[in-house]
Amino acid sequence: MFFCAISGEPPQDPVVSTKSGHVYERRLIQKYITDNGTDPITGEKLEESDLVSVKASPNAAAPRPPSQSSIPALLHTLQNEWDALVLETFTLKQQYNSTRQELSYALYAQDAATRVVARLMRERDAAREALANVQASMGISPSAPAGDVEMEESSEITGSLPPSVVAQIDETHQTLSSARKKRKNPPDYITPAQVKTFTPKHTIPSLHSSSPAGITALAVSRANPSQFLTGGNDKIVQLYDRSTDKVLASLKGHTKKVNHVAFRERAGEPTLLLSAGADKIAKIWSHDEASGEYIPKLTIRSHKGELSGLSIHPTSTIAALASLDRTYSLHDLTNFKQVFTSPVNDEPFTSLTTHPDGMLLALGTPTSTIQIFDVRSGAVAATLTPDNSTPFTVHTISFSENGYHLLAPDSLSSMAIWDLRKPKVAHSIALGDDFKINKVTYDQSAQLLGVAGNEGARVYAHKSWEELVRFEEGGEVSDLVFGEKGAEIWGTSGREVRVWGVPQ
């Protein structure tokens, strides 16, 4: 019994190739030769003259033909369709085998390239270490390269801060604390009564990529209130000018979503844009006066876990980072060096904020606790735990501008105002069982506090705890920022940035 090498069925009119020796159904091989001119199995050149009919023994029973209809035309049509299907299937099998071979080769090449890159990185690190040792033995301090550099983890940067940094913190603390006692809000600062009249003023749509969509972080410039910085799920950091409705910079470098963004604005120095992401790194871009663009300045890889907090110290020379690896770190923004790494904590850190006087850092944890550290020594100054039997993650916290209070969730759907002079909860605001908090924040006057969540954003008055206004038209709000003099409130919703203010 013969079987066709193309269809796999007993041939009605068998022929054999004199070149390959394979048996085919005559009509199938004739169609293949007409289209391709080659043997379908070996790929050799094949002509109809190379086919020899196979004469079966008269004693052998002919193969049973397929079921037939009484309509010859229908049978002929079905036969032609079947022949075409068999030929197409055979061609697809050949293409599939060829693709598998190409994929195997590509995987092999990728693996080889990865090994080469890993070897080169090890050689680079060894060369850097050797160069550092030579420079140290010669008494030469290594110079920082121009452009983007990487700050690796250093286990030696622990303990207390350098004396020069401590002196800056003490000087800033004395200046801010003495001025704060005498400071009064500007006469044109927004009042709670005006906040009640806030309505949507402006919407900037279609920011960042649509896949994956969503803005995760927002910061508004103090030096130029029309500019704001956003981070997204698309791994991009974007600087936008609201006055011109243009993207000023689209900064890449993260490999996962951006969790936090911030401006560092200091008189006489270039503006710095900072970001911290789920990819365990923080990046810094510096404004280049010559080109007018932002150029990469530093990549910080000093943490082993996702970065959960980013804050600029009131000195404007220090950036603080918190991580799920149970440590936080401080980085000098003048020489771009890491100056402190905290000892490993018992719990991961899930949020971070800096006291307005610059002496304390508050960090949230996944077990409802807020730990407050002395910036200069790294020692725990206080531990705040709400009276709640159900643990929750403290993923957002905010100091009031006067430094007396701390705003933080005390459950998944309520927020507490901690009196740091006691310390205890001065008041708790229930937001509703279905409300899930994304962000809490104070304004610059400590008279207003805002909360953003899955049901929009709300603003409350400090001390009276009156709800002043709700913004629900944009759906879920992921981040919330008070604008200059409280005259505007900025929020992120999906791929949009919304601005609310007094009706014009």
Task: Confirm whether 202 is domain-assigned.
Answer: yes
Does residue 209 register a pLDDT over 90?
no
* Sign of the CA dihedral with 292 first, then 296, 298, and 302 last: positive
Task: Kindly indicate the confidence band of residue 393, based on its pLDDT and cuts at 50, 70 and 90.
Answer: very high
Does residue 144 register a pLDDT over 90?
no
The reported pLDDT for the residue numbered 124 is: 86
**Mean of per-residue pLDDT scores for the chain:** 88
In contact, 397 and 406? CB cutoff 8 Å: yes
Which structural domain range is residue 384 located in? 151-501
Q: Quick: pLDDT tens for 270-282.
A: 899 999 999 999 9
This model's pTM is above 0.75: no
The reported pLDDT for the residue numbered 129 is: 78
Q: Name which of 182-196, 324-338, 362-376, 443-457 the model is least confident about.
A: 182-196
The reported pLDDT for the residue numbered 290 is: 81
Q: Name which of 18-27, 183-192, 401-410 the model is least confident about.
A: 183-192
Task: Confirm whether 470 is domain-assigned.
Answer: yes
Does residue 141 register a pLDDT over 60?
no
Residue 39's closest CA among 8, 18, 54, 9?
18
- Identify which has the larger pLDDT, 168 or 186: 168
Q: What are phi and psi of 200, to 5 degrees?
A: -60, 130
Percent of the chain residues past pLDDT 70, beyond the cut = 91
Give the CATH number, domain containing residue 355. Answer: 2.130.10.10
Task: Kindly indicate the confidence band of residue 154, based on its pLDDT and cuts at 50, 70 and 90.
Answer: very low
The reported pLDDT for the residue numbered 150 is: 60
Task: Confirm whether 16 is domain-assigned.
Answer: no
Cβ count near 341 (within 10 Å): 22
Cβ count near 493 (within 10 Å): 22
Task: Confirm whether 110 is domain-assigned.
Answer: no
Mean pLDDT over residues 167-172, rounded?
Answer: 90
Rounded CA separation 291/248 (Å): 13
Q: Amino acid letter at 382?
A: A
Q: Quick: pLDDT tens for 228-254.
A: 999 999 999 999 999 899 999 999 999
The reported pLDDT for the residue numbered 162 is: 86
Task: Confirm whether 415 is domain-assigned.
Answer: yes
The reported pLDDT for the residue numbered 177 is: 80
Q: Quick: pLDDT tens for 412-447.
A: 899 999 999 888 999 999 999 999 999 999 999 889
Task: Confirm whether 121 is domain-assigned.
Answer: no
The reported pLDDT for the residue numbered 156 is: 44
Measure Cα distances from 44 to 6, 47, 99 in Å.
15, 10, 21
Residue 329's closest CA among 347, 346, 304?
304
Task: Confirm whether 378 is domain-assigned.
Answer: yes
Q: Which helix (H) or strand (E) element contains residue 415?
A: strand 414-419
Work out how many domains the chain is built from and give that number. 1
The reported pLDDT for the residue numbered 80 is: 84
Q: Quick: pLDDT tens for 130-140.
A: 887 776 666 55
Does residue 478 register a pLDDT over 90?
yes
Mean pLDDT over residues 40-69, rounded?
Answer: 74
Q: Quick: pLDDT tens for 94-140.
A: 899 989 989 988 988 888 888 898 889 888 888 887 887 776 666 55
Task: Kindly indicate the confidence band of residue 145, based on its pLDDT and cuts at 50, 70 and 90.
Answer: very low
